[in-house]
Structure 1
Amino acid sequence: GYEIKEGSFNPVGQKVVLHRPKEMTPNRVPELWPEDIIKFNSYNTRKEELNNLVEKIKYNIEVDGLSPSRDILVIALGESREAYNLKVRAAKRLNKEGFDIYIPKALKNNIFYPKFPNEDRNKFWNEGGVTFTTTYRAKGNEAYMVYVIGLDKIAEDESNFALRNQLFVALSRTKGWLEVSGIGDFPMYDEFRKVIKSGNTFEFIFQRPLLEKNEKKKEVY
């Protein structure tokens, strides 16, 4: 949906200006919502990140009136096992506050480790539970309020094509509002803030990404 207004990707090292025309941006939420629809926050610790996540979800349900299932989606970033562990840790934190959670494949809410034969691989939502997932399982699903946690897992290896693609999939799961978070401080965080601030026009110096460390990462459910 973007067009090149200035520069070129070949050769590398040039300033490139990309612009997304209004007609290519069908989301009308910005016209109806006075606040930012995309937010990014960094925290010192994972505990702090997850505590803030829980408070925001509680507000979404109790004040905003969003439905736990289908309206809210939490996506954990990172390579296979670390993403899975972060997903479960975040789900347990919300469940501790008395809210039902749902892990895809489980037959009912509040099952943190669904296992065969008590699972349904096609099941992604469950009534009354907030879905916590990895990017791989999130493909093809959308929600009005999407939380993407663990951006530091991408920022630690930001030139990795597979991780960058994972981030794109996660960000594009929203139908309305998006909140992204991570811990620590990385150059990628500045890039992320710049993109949010730029709106429909983004200016940057194009550099060819480094080759990813591994050709393919094993995905987990």
Structure 2
Amino acid sequence: MITDARVLQQEFIPGEVKHRDAEVSHLSDTLRPLSTGDGRPTPSFLCGPSGAEKTCIARYTVNQLRENVVELNHHYVNCWEDYSRFKTLYRILDGINKTLDIHRQSTPRDELLDRLRSYDEDIRIRRPEQNSPHPLSEHEEARPFVRFSAAETKREEIELIAENISQDITAHGLDPEQIMVILLDRETQEDADEPTDRLDEATADDIVFNRVWDGESSVFAVDDEVTVTRINRAKGNEAAMVYISGLEHVDNVSSGQSLVRRRNQAFVAMTRTRGWCHVTGTGSCDAFDEMWSVLDGVTADEPEMVFPAPDPQSLENEMEAEPEPTTLTDFISEEG
């Protein structure tokens, strides 16, 4: 006698599957990489006569796995109902909310497959030493080449940069013009003056700072002076030692700039260095956690960066949301 009608519902998952220990164990082993992060799970094919608990075993095992992997995304497709390849792919994409611009009559089937392949796929970037050696890689005393520091206040952050600049010049033998400070979180010249004044106050009198925005547009670096610039003037220029102040700008949604643009600015800033890069920020934000993760990857014996592939539609929406200069004056002001 059936005492609980829930067992007759299609979505019912039992708390225990009896007499199928071997099958559950085997399926659990094939899916184990999802919980350990060690590679990809092995595709599995459950076969047997109707009523042999194939669907029950699959759902039960996945449900057990979800207790260990919080963000596990799974989807059930009934191929008796969605019997064609297009319908099966569409049902899977619908389960992960990727069918917004898919049309059943006109969208090619291969496009659905490409979209599924690109979903949540990690991108791995490796830098073999022989392909792009660092000019100082053989000098252990020159390491680390990349650093990150977080301060509680903006004053503490600027004072930290000032202290390091003094060390670069007096102890490490760098010329002032070999040092660049990029103010990532300063959008106007007036905003940039304040942290530069603090740098000036926190360093010795013989250390002079070249405020790029105060000079001629054709001049960037000046002999015997530390270069201080906003990101718009840093493009196309390099220095042996680059300090990047204001990483929290990447997460500043109130800046009026899209996330894509803010991240691109941080990327441009970090690629201005020929030797060392020291990134700093104030407070705490997601960008800081990401920076620590990146440092773990790029400072390893075999440098590697791993990050999820961005959703193409979300990326396109971000780029479309970016305001564009509408007049020549706006364009000149934006590009500096």
Q: Report the TM-score when normalising by structure 1.
A: 0.80
> Which structure 2 residues correspond to residues 141-220 of structure 1 after superposition, within 5 A?
141-157=237-253, 160-199=259-298, 200-208=303-311, 211=318, 213-216=321-324, 219=334
- CA distance in 2: counterparts of 1:26 and 1:216, whole angstroms: 38
Give the fraction of aligned pairs with identical amino acids, expressed as a percent.
Answer: 28
Alignment of 1:39-188 (within 5 A): 39-69=147-177, 71-78=178-185, 80-81=187-188, 84-96=189-201, 97=203, 98=205, 99-104=207-212, 114=214, 119-157=215-253, 160-188=259-287
Choose between structure 1 and 2: higher strand proportion: 1
Partner Cα distance (1:177, 1:80) in 2? 24
Structure of larger gyration radius: 2
* 1:38-91 deviations in Å (ceiling 9; x for gaps): 00011111011001111111111111121111x10000113622xx44532232
Bigger relative contact order, structure 1 or 2 (CA pairs below 8 A, ≥6 apart): 1
Moved more, 154-163 or 189-198: 154-163
Equivalent residue letter for 2:261:
A
> SS of the counterpart of 1:140?
coil
The 2-side partners of 1:85 and 1:152 are apart by: 19
Three-state SS of the structure 1 residue aligned to 2:138 is helix
CA distance in 1, matches of 2:305, 2:190: 34
- Does the CA contact (< 8 Å) of 1:75 and 1:87 recur in 2? no
Q: CA deviation at 1:11?
A: 2.0
3-state SS of paired residue (1:123)? coil
SS in 1 for 2:180: strand
In 2: Cα distance, 1:202 partner to 1:95 partner:
36
Secondary structure of the structure 2 residue equivalent to 1:80: coil
Q: Name the one with the larger helix percent.
A: 2
Pick closer, same or farther for the CA change 1:195–1:204 going to 2, 3 Å: same
Equivalent AA in structure 1 for residue 167 of structure 2: Y
* Structure 1 unpaired stretches of 5+: 1-5, 106-113
Equivalent position of 1:110 in the other structure: none
- Gapped runs of 5+ residues in structure 2? 1-38, 41-113, 326-332
- The match for 2:118 is 11
The answer to whether the 8 A contact 2:251-2:259 is kept is no
The count of residues paired between Structure 1 and Structure 2 equals 201
Aligned-partner SS, 2:130: helix
Distance 1:46 1:205, change over 3 A: same
Alpha-carbon contact 2:186-2:230 (below 8 Å) kept:
no
> Contact (CA 8 Å) 1:76, 1:86: kept in 2 or not?
no
Note the alpha carbon deviations across 1:106-151, whole angstroms, 9 max, x for none.
xxxxxxxx3xxxx421011122211100111011111111000000
Whichever residue aligns with residue 135 of structure 1, its letter is: I
